[in-house]
Structure 1
């Protein structure tokens, strides 16, 4: 926790560029895995747990030409789901000497410390979303107990790494995983928002490098479209939307040191079917449509400035949960060797 702005020596006359060279940090796309792309702001600052009720249904009926006397009944089983919340805090300290020293670098020290503290909290949230604060408790999307975990299979030539994989086979593989995701969630025939989060090197390869080859038969987009372009074009025909996002902390997080690729549909679509509807129980309200959850107590970290002798200390804090997958059939974790 230091503000280090050493003295400068300059030649006069000279020109001082007003813009600053900053250490750039990757903006994570991991939060696109959540419904709406952001955590739910529903906690109070002192809530220690989040609880959600769930109901499982098993229907039974009797069919006969004559009325029966002993009739079965549908079974409703309630269960209780919970996850812990955690308080993230960080502190900044400065005095008037620090502010004056930073001004020589054309930096507003209070604003720089504010943004640095917010980034520290947001980075911790990203870690909690993906990996959890206590992974042994199933926290974090990568530790979801009921998610589908798979490894990239060999292509038609026996290749198993991204750099050697047949581009057309890769497009077909991703489409097959998306098909499996939609089928497991009973979303066939409905337009979904599909999200893929991977390391940059995988996303960029699929978007800019892996052009689908022309073979003995014409592949979609062959010779012009990349893997991502082919997948997006085919999905668009059914009204589905796909979004790619990057997070480099997923490098090496797959099985056997492979990169991790996360595939999900963040929100279930409940169709409005007229007449006979074998899924009419889905209309019971209130109905949670999210697949992956994260809760927090406010939209942005709270700032708590406090005067101290000769200066200011400012604490920022935010209470949130780890990433919480509540529908395992809507989350696929792919180990993809690079």
Structure 2
């Protein structure tokens, strides 16, 4: 923790630009992989665990021409899942002399510190959501037991990197993973529309969005020869009522198998399969039930700020929040792609 605002020596007459040259960080889209695109603000400030009940059913019926003395019944099996919570905090200490030094640079020190603290906490929440605090416990989306992990195969020409991959083959590979994701979740038919979210490093997303033009021989619907890998996928998904959203996170660079880039493909919310008449998912009408696939719980929507005076006349400002790591309730709805960029 430091506020480094050195003294300045300027030539006069002169003009000083009031605007600052700022250091910026990437605005990650990790929250969009959560159900509802935001954490669930339901924790108490001292809650150490979160529990959720689950209910499984195995149905059975007897078919015969005549009545039987023995009849089977559905089997209901209940259980629960749990996740630890972690307290994320940081602190700054400053006094009026620090504020005066920052003021010479046209900087409001309390505001700058608060934004910096919030950014640090949000980056920490991003880290435990994606990678967990204790990976051995299966925390974080990249450590979910039962998630589907796929390594990008070679294309028809033997290319194995995103930069050299045949664009038509890339569309087919990604659409295959999209189809497999929906198939595992029984998300086909019955008017179901899904939100499919893909979280990837910028260098992969931008390649698919702007540079990888799909050949007309591979995509002969409107846009063939002009649409990109991302655009082609979006158009094809829209034709069956789905949407595909792409978001950035460069911390996924090198986090795939063997040091490749990791790309997360998920449906953050599941839709309940249903059909009029004889519904073979009739049990799905039971409630209350959740549609969530990926979650993070927090105790507050924004970090709590606690200001206290220090003995030497300064101010100590603490920001804190309590949160769970990334928690996937339905691993069938999560695919981790390992893609070699170059």
* TM-score, with length taken from structure 1: 0.98
Aligned to 1:193: 195
Match of 2:75 in 1: 75
Structure-2 change in CA distance of 1:230 and 1:207 (3 Å): same
Q: Aligned residue for 2:250?
A: 248
C-alpha distance after superposition, 1:126-183 (max 9, x if no partner): 0000000000000000000010001001111111110110001101111110000011
- Give the C-alpha shift of residue 214 in structure 1: 2.7
Cα distance per residue 1:69-94 (max 9 Å; x no partner): 10011111111110100000100111
Tell me the CA shift for residue 274 of structure 1: 2.7
Q: Distance in 1 between matches of 2:299 and 2:28?
A: 21
Indicate the residue corresponding to 1:115 in structure 2: 115
* Structure 2 unmatched ranges of 5 or more: none
Q: Corresponding residue for 2:323?
A: 320
Question: How far, CA to CA, are the matches of 1:15 and 1:272 in structure 2?
Answer: 69
Structure 1 residues 269-280: aligned runs within 5 Å: 269-271=271-273, 273-280=275-282
Q: Which moved more, 1:156-165 or 1:142-151?
A: 156-165
- Check 1:319–1:21 CA distance in 2 against 1; reply closer, same or farther (3 A cut): same
Hey, what's the Cα distance between the residues in 2 that align with 1:18 and 1:317?
32
- Bigger drift between 17-26 and 217-226 goes to 217-226
Superposed displacement of residue 218, structure 1: 3.4
Contact 1:54 1:79 in 2 (8 A): yes
| Aligned match for 1:227, one of 215, 226, 229 | 229
What is the rounded CA distance, in whole Å, between the counterparts of 1:122 and 1:116 in structure 2?
A: 10
- 1:289: which partner in 2? 291
The 1:71/1:216 distance shift into structure 2, 3 A limit, reads closer
* C-alpha RMSD over aligned residues: 1.2
Cα gap change, 1:201/1:107 in structure 2, threshold over 3 Å: closer, same or farther? same
Task: Render the CA deviation track for 1:264-303: whole Å, top value 9, x for unaligned.
Answer: 0000112553321111111111101100111000000000
Partner of 1:106: 106
Cross-structure match for 1:211: 213
Report if the CA contact (8 A) 1:212-1:219 is conserved: no
- 1:172 matched residue in structure 2: 172
Question: Is the counterpart of residue 158 in structure 1 residue 158 in structure 2?
Answer: yes
* 3-state SS of 2:85 partner: strand
Q: Distance in 1 between matches of 2:221 and 2:254?
A: 32
Conserved in 2, the CA contact under 8 Å of 1:306 and 1:314?
yes
Q: Secondary structure at the match of 1:128?
A: helix
Provide the C-alpha distance between the structure 2 equivalents of 1:27 and 1:138, rounded to a whole number of angstroms.
26
What is the number of residues matched between the two proteins? 338
| Distance in 2 of aligned mates of 1:325 and 1:170 | 27
Q: Report what 1:63 is aligned to.
A: 63
Q: Indicate conservation of the 8 Å contact 1:131/1:143, yes or no.
A: yes
Aligned to 1:334: 337
- Counterpart CA distance in 2 for 1:44 and 1:321 is 12
Alpha carbons 1:220, 1:230 under 8 Å: kept = no
1:34 matched to 2:37? no
* Distance across 2 between alignment mates of 1:20 and 1:161: 40
1:103 is displaced (CA, Å) by 0.7
